[in-house]
Chains A and B, each alone.
Chain A
Amino acid sequence: MKDVVLRSLNQTFEKLDDMLLQFLPHLLVMLIIVVVGWFVAIILKFVTRRIFAFVSVSKLSKDAGISQILSKADLPPAGDLFSSLVFWVTWFGFLLIGVDALGVPELQLEVEKFFLFLPQIFVALLVLFGGLLAANFFSRAALLAAVNANLPSARAISGFVRFIIILLTVAMALEQIALARSTVLITFAIAFGAIMLALAIAFGSGGRDAAHRMLDRMFPPSEPKKEEERAKQEEISPL
């Protein structure tokens, strides 16, 4: 009995030894990959930052109002943000390669799936970034045009433009990563349709009076005097 127990224990320890002897090199490889990945990520972060500085991304983002949003959200400037993103994505990628090097089949399958998914995440992030830029640029253009045309709801018009572009962008980004594709599509369609329907009803019959007042505010109809006055003011040639 004692011999059986000892043999069994011996076999178990031998197996453990074998397993450790097999696993430790893999672990070492993983650690090496993770450390090398960290260095690679640092280098890529540095290179990205330099490229961004070279192509004046900070100027572009300032131009489009992105810098303002980032600073309001206590986030670093666009260039720093993107280079940090590059660092984390790269290092995370190496981390997964390291996990893959451990040789655990279940983990390998998940890692493979993740790598197939990675380009889509990148594209989705780019879509979001571009959308944010476009939303800020066009909302500011709408605000200035509305203010210079003396429309009373300039900020509302600008906000609406921003909302529509961001809505479209988020829908496109989620579509890109195929996250609940049908739900996103349906949600977007419902949200967009609801806005249009609400406007149609408001301007139609349901909120006729409110729409009337709103239209009156936006496009003052029977105040030729006011218009005349402004036209007269502007007819003094500025040059």
Chain B
Amino acid sequence: MRERRRETTPLGDLKLAETAQLSDDFIRQLSAVGEVDVLVGIPTFNNKDTIERVVRAVQIGLTKYFHRERCVLINPDGGSTDGTPEIFKNASVSDFEIMLTSNPLRTFHRVSAPYHGIPGKETALRTLFVAADLLRAKACAILSPASLSVTPEWIESLVRPAYRESFDFVAPLYQRQKFDGLLLKGLLAPVVRAAYGVRIREPIASDLGLSGKLARHFLEQNIWDQDVTTFGLEIWMTTTAIVHGFKISESFLGPRIQPAPQFGQDLPGTIRQVVGALFKCLEMQESYWLPRTGSESLPTFGFQYDVALEPLKLSTKTILDNFRSNIGQLVPVLESILTPATLVEIRKMIDLPDKQFRCPDELWVKTIYEFAAAYHHSAINRDHLLQALTPLYRARVSSFILQNTKAPAAKLDQRVEDLGQEFERQKPYLIDRWSAKAGGER
């Protein structure tokens, strides 16, 4: 089989392709493409409701902004049963002919094929990186198939910095609803900022741009069989790009609207995946971040504008009631993770009336750092540790919402910035806890 593949494809080194176990059909389609300048990948799995819109936006984006480049749109599919690949292949823009006349595309290919292996984002992205390597793509963009707000301009915003400005990693920057993405704003981004020294606001983006060089670099890492790729490939890609000194930028994409979360995507599961992946990355890359101090902002592309998004009416009463009744029951578990002083502060929150309920930044940062260190020292089973974070996150979210219900967007941004600074200020505490001997003084 190996020999046959080598003979039948005009593409060069197929070693990587074989590693990722690309299907014969996939390789055949890639062989017909040849080398490309821009590769856009949309990994899918049962996305029939949204895929057509995304494909059309990409088509228009490539036609409008990259009509002189050789482009390919690739759809690695995880075995959809709802006809997603067919919709992908047949999606077209009604006035595409007119657009082609004014902006003739040099070449534009569309490849869709199921990939081998366990369906999941890591297998799909690995397939895309292999394709980028085989087709010698200069720049890549990866888009979420579920986005309801994607526009043709997203392609320009994500590809241009990598293709024309020699950036390697282009993180998105969305306009979000007031309280959207609080785990991202309140934990993931500030920890990345404090630890790695980079103020990246969307460290786990599902829409991003990459240089071909970085795609190849990801592919060469000996990581693909580890847990971190299964649960947190996005955070690993971000931190790897930082650690290996690749040029990083942000591009403003506009509002981000996603479909309602699907069944099974519960909060404890999400925390387990993304926070677990972040802690795992901290562990794998400790030699980089431990000696680092301060942080730098990133160059940002794109014209930033505001769109009025419908505000959500939220109630925190149930969450607070649950926090009060649950936290006492969790004390035996939290005692293994947190220092007595932090635990005392958390328990004090139980007695606060709803309107005065606050989880101060200082306490939140200390809590997260103690969780990270406990994860590092395996103070208890790591899965259990991450699950124990959920009630505390809920309390923090409630506190943040109560504190900022009437705050305008600018003030909210300032609060997020203050939190980021607090994470930076307390970084020595993280290093202390992290470097302390397991089971050391508490």
Contact = CB atoms under 8 A, between A and B. Distances in A.
A59 interface: yes
B333 A143 contact: yes
Interface in B187-222: 188, 204
A143 B330 contact: yes
A158 B310 CA distance: 42
Q: Which of A58, A232, A233 has the most CB of B within 10 A?
A: A233
Nearest to A64: B381
A238 B181 contact: yes
Interface stretch (A78-86, A149-157, A178-186): A149-157
Nearest to B178: A236
Given A63-B378, A239-B274, A226 B318 contact: yes
B317 A229 contact: yes
Interface residues of A, number: 31
A234 B261 CA distance: 9
Contacts of A143: 329-330, 333
A69 B439 CA distance: 15
Interface residues of B, number: 47
Contact of B391 (A147, A155, A233): A147
Interface stretch (B132-140, B246-254, B319-327): B319-327
B319 A62 contact: no
B184 A238 contact: yes
Interface in B135-172: none
Contact of B315 (A59, A150, A232): A232
A237 interface: yes
B314 interface: yes
A10 to B, nearest CB: 72
Contacts of A64: 381
Interface stretch (B11-19, B120-128, B382-390, B419-427): B382-390
B258 A233 contact: no
Contacts of B183: 238-239
A155 to B, nearest CB: 5
Nearest to B316: A233
Contact of B329 (A68, A137, A147): A147
Interface string A198-239: 000000000000000000000000000010011011111111
Nearest to B271: A238
A190 interface: no
A144 B387 contact: yes
A53 B381 CA distance: 18
A232 B258 CA distance: 15
A234 B336 contact: no
A157 to B, nearest CB: 10
A65 interface: yes
Contact of B336 (A58, A62, A155, A238): A62
B432 interface: no
Given A62-B379, A68-B332, A237-B258, A154 B315 contact: no
Interface in B325-346: 325-326, 329-330, 332-333, 335-336
Contacts of A152: 325
B438 interface: yes
A64 B333 CA distance: 11
A64 B268 CA distance: 20
Interface in A46-79: 58-59, 62-65, 68
Interface string B396-422: 010000000000000000000000000
A230 B387 contact: no
B308 interface: no
Given A68-B336, A148-B268, A62 B329 contact: no
A68 B261 CA distance: 38
Contacts of B307: none
Given A140-B380, A238-B181, 14 more contacts: A63-B380, A140-B381, A147-B329, A154-B326, A230-B318, A232-B315, A233-B315, A233-B316, A236-B179, A236-B312, A237-B181, A238-B183, A238-B271, A239-B204
